[in-house]
Each structure stands twice: as C-alpha cells, then as structure tokens.
Structure 1
Amino acid sequence: MYKNILLATDGSENARRAAGEAAGFAREGSSHVTMVHIKNSPPSQSRMVKANFDVHSILEEDAKSEIKNTIDIFEKEGLPYTLKVAIGDPAAEIFEIAAKEQADLIIIGSRGLGAIKGVFLGSVSQKVAQHAPCPVLIVK
C-alpha cells in the first residue's frame, strides 16, 4: 500500500473525484495525504501589503477557500492530511513537493483541456504522468 500520497488539487470537479480516490487509500491503510494547491501567479500587491507580505498565509487562505470541498472530505472522516501551497508552474511544483514529501503515489484529476489548447499548452496531469518520480493516478 502507499504510505505518502500527494493529491494535486485545484478544486475542479475532476480534482474532487481525485480527492475521493485519495481518501479511499487513506481509509484502507495508514496512508498520509499531502494536498497540493498551486497558483500560477502571486497575490496582488494590495493583498500582500494587507498581510504584511506573508505570501504563504495568503496562499493558504486562498487554497482553503478554493478546495474547501476536498478538505471537507478528509476532515469529516478524520483522515490525516497536510496542505502545501506554492506559486509557479503546477507540474514543476508538484514534482518538487513529491520529492520533498517522498510521495509513493501522485493522484491528480484530468483537466480535459480542449484539443487545440491541449496541443499548445499540454495539461498538468499529462506532464505529471510523463515526468513524475513515482506512479501517477489520473482521475476523470
């Protein structure tokens, strides 16, 4: 069984289904889930000033709001999890956090980009599946 699961989530419907899978692993064994929420850009300057430039607290606040349904799945059942937040390229940040946390499995929702957009940008789940340091479960 997997001990350290990294759940990459953005609050989308596919990400919520991925959270259900991660919760299932946590229920079955002694798995710990690290939820990862990545922003592409930093918070506005006015928000940073209000938070005394504590960017991490702003990112956590945003994550807790945007992935509330995912967090609720774990809290209602008393399942262990940790929340990690970051700014940057989502795939690169997922790889970095997976390495630091020694993840045995990454669970991520498929994003379902349109055909043209997907050709030019690629999806985060596709990049993660191709370059991850451990097995990846992509949930539709």
Structure 2
Amino acid sequence: MFESVLIPTDGSERSERAAVHGLALARAYDATVHVLSVVETTALDVESDVETTDVKTTLEERAEAAIGGVEALIDDPTLDVVTTIREGNPTTEIRRYATESGIDLLVMGTHGRTGVSRFLLGSVTEEVVREAREPVLVTRSEDPIKTDYETILVPTDGTPESRAATRYAVDVASRFDATVHAVSVADTRIVSSGPLVESLRSSCGKAVRNVAVRGTQHDVPVETQVLQGTPAVEILDYIGHHAIDFVVIGRHTRSGLDRFVTRSTGERVIRNTDAPVLSVRDGDES
C-alpha cells in the first residue's frame, strides 16, 4: 500500500516528531523514504544585493540541517532514503515532488491548538491536506510519540471516502497487529429523536458492519460502535476514552459549500486529537 513515504521538513520539532511516525510506517511497509526540505525563496527579491544572497545561503544551510535531523532519526539501515532540497513555495513544491516521485504517503506535522495555530493547521499542512491526491498523515507537536500502534480508529458513514479510509485502516492494522475501532455517528444536530434518527442509526450500523467484514477478510480484529450526536465531538470523545493510537479518516474532494460543510469533521478531529491522523482522499485505492 505504501511503497514511498515523503517527509517534508523545516527542521522544527513538529516536523521531526512527524518524521518518527513516517519512519515507523516506512519500516512496516519496507517503503522508500523521501526527505524533502524547501527553501522558501518566494519572499526574496531576486534583484537585491548581496544581503539577499546571504539570506538564501542561510536558508539553504537550514534546509540541509533539517534533512540531517530526519536522517539522524533513521535507525534501520535497510531503509532506502532519498534526500532533496528544492526552492520555491513550500506547498507547491511538496505537492509537485509528491506527484513527480509517485509518492504514496505524505507525513506532516502541525502546530498545537493554541494561539494563532488554533485557527489553522498551519498554512502549508492545511493546504497540502486539502489539495493532495495522496494520503496525508498529520501529527501535532504535542503528540506523545508512540509508534507501536495498538488501536486504530476509522470513523465511517458508508460513503466512498470512508470506505477508502477503511481499506487503509485495516491494512495498517494488519502491519501493526492492531485492533480497528469502527465508529459511526448518527448526526442528530437537527433531529434528535423519532423515525429519522432510527433510520440514521440503521445506516450507521450497516457502515460499521462493512468494516467488520473487511477486518475478518484480512484477519484484523474489529470493534464496532454506533453513536449519535455531533460527529466531531463524538469521535474525539471516543478517541480519548479508548486510548486510540492512530486515526484514519476520509476526506472529500468536493467543491463549494458542500466541500466546506463535509470537510469540517475531519479538520476538527485533526486539530483536536493527540493521535496521528491519516487523511485519505475519497477514491484512493489499496
């Protein structure tokens, strides 16, 4: 499923902590590790004097040090590692590199949930999560680093994106001997009782049973749960109460208002959980 893992780095603690998770997945899949650092030259005036050259040299040195920081984390000599420094806009270059190199998984860190970063995941990470075709693993700098994943949560509502997430969740669980927790939330923000809620719960039950079937097919244990309430709130509560180590969640590729509404649950989960979250685009195949 993952033959190549891209770890963009700026040398920050959050990117190095993300790299630990990326390297764990690379080891589990015997994947090639790509370490990329982007020298952000978009703000430099190419017509300016030697001071700009000095700044660019400093940025290049920082990029080299950032890559060295990730290389220092690699404790498996059998892993193939490719390192690259590029210049330009970080979001653009990360996406371009992923496309050009046929990357299967991007791994990125984000800020915690306080201060300015509370409003965005961090502009580069948020843009990559929203636009990348590839699965993106997002970790927060506050995460306790645990890579022996034992419990993997996949929220599901039976849609194509949650089915794609299910495929990844079960496959990752099989590599780590983990248990998959399949949770479906009947959204009762508008209607909280009556036949409509029962219909929603019935659909949720079908969605989690489908995850259980896939787990059985791949010898992966699956625990199922149907909840009701606000999806993001219920999912976050479940993560906390069940000590979830890893989350796999589907993301939509829709546009306009529909895109804004449907992406909100995934982004709220990413912003507010300590667990690493693998965001999977709908239509991704195993």
Partner residue, 1:86: 86
Q: Shift of residue 12 of structure 1?
A: 1.1
Look up the SS of the partner of 1:77 in the other structure: coil
Q: TM-score, normalised by structure 2?
A: 0.40
Structure 1: 5+ residue stretches without partners? 49-54
Q: TM-score, normalised by structure 1?
A: 0.77
**Alignment CA distance shift 1:118-1:86 (3 Å):** farther
Give the structure with higher Rg (CA).
2
The answer to whether structure 1 residue 77 and structure 2 residue 76 are counterparts is yes
Q: Shift of residue 112 of structure 1?
A: 4.5
- Residue type of the partner of 1:38? V
- The answer as to whether partners of 2:18 and 2:138 remain within 8 angstroms in 1 is yes
**Alignment CA distance shift 1:112-1:92 (3 Å):** farther
Look up the SS of the partner of 1:11 in the other structure: coil
Residue of 53, 62, 76 corresponding to 1:45: 53
C-alpha RMSD of matched pairs (Å): 2.8
* Cα deviation digits, residues 15-55 of structure 1 (max 9, x gap): 1111111111121122011111011126942588xxxxxx8
The answer to whether structure 1 residue 101 and structure 2 residue 109 are counterparts is no
**Alignment CA distance shift 1:116-1:69 (3 Å):** closer
CA–CA distance in structure 2, aligned partners of residues 127 and 73 of structure 1: 26
- The answer as to whether partners of 1:10 and 1:66 remain within 8 angstroms in 2 is yes
Partner residue, 1:12: 12
CA–CA distance in structure 1, aligned partners of residues 26 and 63 of structure 2: 21
- Residue type of the partner of 2:53? Q
Identity, in percent, stands at 26
* Cα deviation digits, residues 89-136 of structure 1 (max 9, x gap): 11111010000011111111113486557769x511100000002111
* Cα deviation digits, residues 52-76 of structure 1 (max 9, x gap): xxx8xx83x54232343211112x4
Partner residue, 1:128: 128
Task: Identify the structure with bigger relative contact order (alpha carbons < 8 Å, sequence gap 6+).
Answer: 1
Structure 2: 5+ residue stretches without partners? 45-50, 141-286
Look up the SS of the partner of 2:21 in the other structure: helix
Give the 4+ runs in structure 1 shifted more than 4 A: 112-120
Alignment of 1:24-63 (within 5 A): 24-41=24-41, 44-45=52-53, 59=60, 61-63=61-63
- The answer as to whether partners of 1:111 and 1:123 remain within 8 angstroms in 2 is no
**Alignment CA distance shift 1:9-1:46 (3 Å):** closer
Look up the SS of the partner of 2:35 in the other structure: strand
- The answer as to whether partners of 2:90 and 2:124 remain within 8 angstroms in 1 is yes
When structure 1 is superposed on structure 2, of 27-36 and 129-138 the one drifting more is 27-36
* Count of residue pairs the alignment pairs up: 130
**Alignment CA distance shift 1:137-1:96 (3 Å):** same
